[in-house]
Amino acid sequence: MLTDLPGQIEAEIRFHAAIEDARALIDVSHGPGCPKNRLDEAMDSPNGALVRRCFRLLNAKGIGLTITLADITEEEFRVLELIEAERQKQGGPERS
């Protein structure tokens, strides 16, 4: 029955307001020792840019783009080798 519909609506509004108040109290920032911060800093470095380039190359290769040794630098090749070795160590899928 809908006998107390205004009361139910008011209770639901208070409930949602309480959830928003609780969310405001939760700190989701990362501290200085957080691994995510260290990863972000590393990926902003020149070596991080190299790693990002290599993952883009792997993604391009995965969607069918042909990449030859003439298309990449020796540095990129070495990083691609490291990525593949790490994937095999972690039990991830092999990429050809």
The number of distinct structural domains making up the chain is 1
Kindly report, residue by residue over 24-82, the tens digit of the pLDDT: 777 767 777 788 888 888 899 999 999 999 999 999 999 999 999 999 999 999 999 99
Kindly report, residue by residue over 8-19, the tens digit of the pLDDT: 888 888 888 888
Other C-beta atoms closer than 10 Å to the C-beta of 42 total 11
14 part of a folded domain = no
**Range of the structural domain that residue 86 is part of:** 35-90
6 part of a folded domain = no
19 part of a folded domain = no
Confidence at 95, pLDDT banded by 50, 70, 90:
low
28 part of a folded domain = no
Distance from C-alpha of 43 to C-alpha of 49, rounded to nearest angstrom: 6
Give the per-residue pLDDT at 88.
Answer: 92
22 part of a folded domain = no
Closest C-alpha to 72, from 53, 95, 94, 47: 53
63 part of a folded domain = yes
Give the per-residue pLDDT at 2.
Answer: 52
Distance from C-alpha of 84 to C-alpha of 96, rounded to nearest angstrom: 10
